[in-house]
Amino acid sequence: MKREITFAQAINEAMAEEMRRDPSVFLMGEDVGVFGGVFGVSEGLLAEFGEERVRDTPISEAAIVGAGLGAALVGMRPIVEIMFADFVTVAMDQVVNQVAKARYMSGGKARVPLTIRIANGAPGAAAAQHSQSPEAWFMNVPGLKIAIPSTPADAKGLLKTAIRGDDPVLFFEHKMLYSRAGSAPEGEYLIPFGRAAVRREGEDATIIAIGGPVNAALSAAEQLARQSVSVEVIDPRTLVPLDLDALIASVRKTGRAVIVHEAHRRAGPGAEIAALLAEKAIDYLEAPILRVAAANVPIPYNPDLERFVLPTAEDIVEAVMKLIRYEI
Partner 1 sequence: MTSLKHHPLDQLLAFYRLMVTIREFELRAAGERKAGLVPGFLHACVGQEATAVGACAALNAEDVITSTHRGHGHLIAKGGDPRFMMAELAGKTSGYCGGKGGSLHLADFDLGVLGANGIVAGGIPMAVGAGLAFQMRREPRVALAFFGDGAVNEGAFHEAANLAGLWKLPVIFFCENNLYGEGTPQHKQAPIRDLSLRAAGYGFPGVIVDGNDVVAVYEITLDAVERARKGDGPTFIEAKTYRQRGHYEGDPMIYRTEEEMAYWRARDPILGFRKRLEEEMEVEPAALDAVDAEVKALLDEAVQFAIHSPAPRPEAALEGVYADDHGGRVF
Q: Does residue 76 interact with partner 1 by CB under 8 A?
A: yes
Q: How many CA atoms lie within 13 A of 207 on its CB side?
A: 36
Among 21, 50, 59, 282, binds ligand TPP (CB under 6 A): 59
How far is the C-alpha of 70 from the C-alpha of 78, rounded, in Å?
10
Q: What residues numbered 179-198 form the site for partner 1, per CB under 8 A?
A: 193-194
Would you list the DSSP string of 81-97?
EESSGGGGGGGHHIIII
Q: Which stretch binds partner 1 (CB under 8 A): 13-21, 162-170, 223-231, 267-275?
A: 162-170
Among 48, 60, 140, 183, binds partner 1 (CB under 8 A): 60
* Residue 47 interface partner, choices a second copy, ligand TPP, partner 1, none, CB cut-off 5-8 Å depending on type: none
By the 8 A CB rule, do 261 and 146 touch? no
Nearest distance, CB of residue 173 and partner 1, angstroms: 18
* Identity at 187, one-letter amino acid code: G
Helices and strands, counts by H and E, the chain = 12, 14
By the 8 A CB rule, do 229 and 321 touch? yes
End-to-end CA distance of the chain: 50
Query: Footprint of a second copy on this chain (CB under 8 A)?
Result: 62, 86-87, 89-90, 92-93, 95-97, 100-101, 104-105, 127-129, 134, 136-137, 139-143, 240, 263-264, 266-272, 274-275, 277-280, 282-283, 285, 287-291, 295-298, 300, 328
Q: Which of 130, 174, 261, 264 is catalytic?
A: 130
Q: Residue count of the chain, please give it.
A: 328
Residue number, 42 or 250, with CB nearest to ligand TPP: 42
Q: Which stretch binds partner 1 (CB under 8 A): 29-37, 204-212, 229-237, 271-279?
A: 29-37
Across the strands, what pairs with 136?
A: none
Residue with the CB atom nearest ligand TPP in the bound state: 87
Nearest distance, CB of residue 319 and a second copy, angstroms: 10
Q: Name the DSSP letter for residue 146.
A: E
Nearest distance, CB of residue 35 and partner 1, angstroms: 4
Q: What residues numbered 222-261 form the site for ligand TPP, per CB under 6 A?
A: none
Sign of CA dihedral 115, 121, 124, 130: positive
Across the strands, what pairs with 259?
A: 208, 291
